[in-house]
């Protein structure tokens, strides 16, 4: 099993690269942001709750997010591995994910962080906001808030997996294809080394 966490600030290209990684490694892509947007578009109770946080650029509470993630994983047990995108975003989420995988006799293979500087991120997200229909991508103050939340609450997740020698980084600047090649090389080296 190959279980990857694709990590990095909003706008670092996780969604784009996740799609390519899924095609190459045949993994199930689980994006908590996409799951929340699906719930919001169907006006479910969960969607309405998530919206009240997402619209402010804040994180949806851990208990809600972990419950949703667990359901998705448990609904898809027979896969070759998972690629987690936008999850875990807090250390308690990381601990909950580890616990869930242990129950399945599995583990996280690696966390791969796409590094991109803040000005580039803001530029990319505002550009994406013109077409994505995502209201949290249109307002610069919300975008900056999301980056602030990322630095404060989410970056400790990379240190958490770092203690186990599982945190890797790839520069998320350049062409989509170029970044993808670097990502694959980094993942293959890590997994190969461990095998």
Q: What binding mask, one character per residue, do residues 141-170 give for ligand AMP by CB under 6 A, x or -?
A: -----x------------------------
Residue 65 · residue 32 · CB < 8 Å: yes
| Site for ligand AMP contains 32 (CB under 6 A) | yes
| Site for ligand AMP contains 89 (CB under 6 A) | yes
**H or E segment and range at residue 29:** strand 28-31
| Site for ligand AMP contains 7 (CB under 6 A) | no
Burial class of residue 177 in the structure, from the number of CB atoms within 10 Å of its CB (0-12 exposed, 13-18 middle, 19+ buried): exposed
| Site for ligand AMP contains 53 (CB under 6 A) | yes
C-alpha to C-alpha distances, 2 to 107, 147, 194, nearest whole angstrom: 9, 28, 12
Read off φ and ψ for residue 163, nearest 5 degrees: -60, -25
For residue 83, list its beta bridge partners. Answer: 4, 29
| Site for ligand AMP contains 33 (CB under 6 A) | yes
Which one of the listed residues 20, 70, 72, 128 is annotated catalytic? 128
| Site for ligand AMP contains 65 (CB under 6 A) | yes
24 is a catalytic site residue: no
Dist CA 58 CA 75 (whole Å): 27
Q: Which stretch binds ligand AMP (CB under 6 A): 16-24, 85-93, 109-117, 185-193?
A: 85-93
Task: Just list the catalytic residues.
Answer: 14, 89, 128, 134, 146
Q: What residues line the site for ligand AMP (CB under 6 A)?
A: 10, 32-33, 36, 53-54, 57-60, 65, 86-87, 89, 93, 136, 146
């Amino acid at each position: 099993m190959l279980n990857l966490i694709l990590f990095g600030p909003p706008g670092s290209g996780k969604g784009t690269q996740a799609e390519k990684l899924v095609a190459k490694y045949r993994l199930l892509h689980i994006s908590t942001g996409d799951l929340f947007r699906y719930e919001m578009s169907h006006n479910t109770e969960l969607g309405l709750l998530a919206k009240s946080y997402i619209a402010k650029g804040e994180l949806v509470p851990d208990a809600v997010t972990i419950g949703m993630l667990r359901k998705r994983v448990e609904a898809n047990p027979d896969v070759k591995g998972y690629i987690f995108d936008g999850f875990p975003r807090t250390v308690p989420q990381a601990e909950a994910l580890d616990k869930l995988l242990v129950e399945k006799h599995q583990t996280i293979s690696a966390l791969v962080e796409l590094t991109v500087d803040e000005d580039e991120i803001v530029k990319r997200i505002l550009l994406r906001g013109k077409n994505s229909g995502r209201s949290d991508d249109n307002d610069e103050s919300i975008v900056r808030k999301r980056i602030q939340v990322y630095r404060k609450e989410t970056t400790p997740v990379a240190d958490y997996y770092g203690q186990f020698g599982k945190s890797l980084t790839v520069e998320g600047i350049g062409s989509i294809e170029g970044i993808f090649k670097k990502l694959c090389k980094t993942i293959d080296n890590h997994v190969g080394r461990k095998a």
